[in-house]
């Protein structure tokens, strides 16, 4: 781990009703993604959020699942409306170019959905050289990237509400 120490962050209150969030996770590296989700859940609990969780097969499926979640009908027998979306996954570099293709595709896909739809999104995709790096970034401490992505998401939810977009 780097010698740079991550700042202590505190979840800021969000005006209005408690945010309803969706976590879309790719648990290919289950222990890592579970650790990141727990870090995010601690932030969400402090902010009083309600959270649903869905799994996708791998990181590559995250952008499509995000688009589907955003496109859900808000009317009908069981309408679901989310104030924001947290994406969690991990890609570990291997011996082939597969890592580069997957990382680039996922990042670009999420950015496309984000800019097209203006959704509040927290992006917690680890792109690391080895499992040790992933474990360090999903540990139950302030370096947890799931927790960092959760803070970013809550900031986006608050911004959308401030601008009357929710």
59 assigned binding-site residue:
yes
90 assigned binding-site residue:
yes
Catalytic residue among 20, 98, 143, 151: 98
- Report H helices in the chain: 30-46, 62-70, 98-117, 131-137, 145-162
137 assigned binding-site residue:
yes
55 - beta bridge partners? 25
Strand ranges of the sheet holding 84-92, from the earlier edge strand across to the other edge: 50-55, 20-25, 84-92, 121-128
95 assigned binding-site residue:
yes
101 assigned binding-site residue:
no
Residue 98 appears among annotated catalytic residues: yes
Distance, in Å, from the CA atom of 42 to the CA atom of 146, rounded to the nearest integer, reads 10
Query: At how many degrees (to 10) do helices 30-46 and 145-162 cross?
Result: 40
In this structure, are residues 85 and 52 in contact, taking their beta carbons and an 8 Å threshold?
no
148 assigned binding-site residue:
no
103 assigned binding-site residue:
no
Active site residues: 98
Binding residue positions for (2S)-2-hydroxy-3-oxobutyl phosphate: 95-96, 137
Binding residue positions: 28, 59-61, 90-92, 95-96, 123, 137
Binding residue positions for 5-amino-6-(D-ribitylamino)uracil: 28, 59-61, 90-92, 123
């Amino acid at each position: 781990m780097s010698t740079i120490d991550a700042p202590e962050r505190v979840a800021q209150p969000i005006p209005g009703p408690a945010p309803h969030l969706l976590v879309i996770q790719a648990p290919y590296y289950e222990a890592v993604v579970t650790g990141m989700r727990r870090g995010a859940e601690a932030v969400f609990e402090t902010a009083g959020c309600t959270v649903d969780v869905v799994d996708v097969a791998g990181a590559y499926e995250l952008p499509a699942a995000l688009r589907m979640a955003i496109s859900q009908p808000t009317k009908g027998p069981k309408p679901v409306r989310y104030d924001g979306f947290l994406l969690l996954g991990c890609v570990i570099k291997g011996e082939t170019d597969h890592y580069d293709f997957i990382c680039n595709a996922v990042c670009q896909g999420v950015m496309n959905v984000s800019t097209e739809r203006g959704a509040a999104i927290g992006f917690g995709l680890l792109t690391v050289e080895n499992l040790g790096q992933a474990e360090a970034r999903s540990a139950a401490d302030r370096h947890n990237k799931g927790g960092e992505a959760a803070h970013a998401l809550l900031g986006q939810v608050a911004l959308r509400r401030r601008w009357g977009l929710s």
